[in-house]
Structure 1
Amino acid sequence: KKGHKGRGKQFSNPEEIDRQMKAQKELEESVGAEKGSSSESEEESSSDDDKRSGVEGLIEIENPNRVSQKSKKVTDIDVAAPRELSRREEEIEKQKSKERYQKLQMEGKTEQARADLARLAIIKREREEAAKKRDELRKREAEEAKGKR
């Protein structure tokens, strides 16, 4: 069974309808100007179309959930403007920057890496000095032990 139910409904955009109405009026006015006769009824209808009839004139209705698809011309697009990245692109960019930082960290080119290397050098020096002192103490103890025998 194929029926009409279940299909997506398409609604006209009010701005597009207004544009079409204005274009049609301009076309009618240009045809009327060529004939040389413009009746009062045409002037009244044009002023009435600018005002919305019924409740539409009283209440401004706009659906915040509806995103209007605006087509952009190539000349309107600003190439120099920074474009916003999607979440996925942001995550990829974060991961790449993290990898770059890790690489610089391993090479010792970042400030943090320099500070860590300096700290490690100090600790290494202290441990070497402590090892020398321990060796000296062991030698002294060994000499004292020999002297007591």
Structure 2
Amino acid sequence: MPRGGKKGHKGRGKQFSNPEEIDRQMRAQKELEENGGAERGSSSESEEETSSDDEQPKRKGVEGLIEIENPNRVSQKSKKVVEIDVNAPKELSRREREEIEKQKAKERYMKLHLEGKTEQARADLARLAIIKKQREDAAKKREELRKEKEAEEAKSKR
């Protein structure tokens, strides 16, 4: 029967570190921290002076080698209350701009319509002129019929 039972053996055999090896690694790490800490302390003063000028965050991975600029990732910079200009014009959204343009276009059209310069206004004025003429003709006919009736009544009474 194989080592791991019916299904077979998975994984490697466990390897244990030698305690002497672990102690040696721990000592080496402490020495590095002590030496590195002393070097960092002395160089931190000079770094503070230069970091105030450049202030670039540490780059991870290949960012230090390749200049990467993601247009979708915009860092939000907070403004102080003193820097905010209340009187500055507010940026309108696309929908708000389109709504304002729509209202202005409607007002321009209505102004031209009232002046009679649009196609629809000309058609309306022509239609009105035709209706006025028809009403005048109808009024003349009624007047003539009324006069004829009066004349007939006057004849019949005699």
Under TM normalisation by the shorter chain, which class is it?
0.3 to 0.5
Whose Rg is larger?
A: 2
Structure 1 length-normalised TM: 0.47
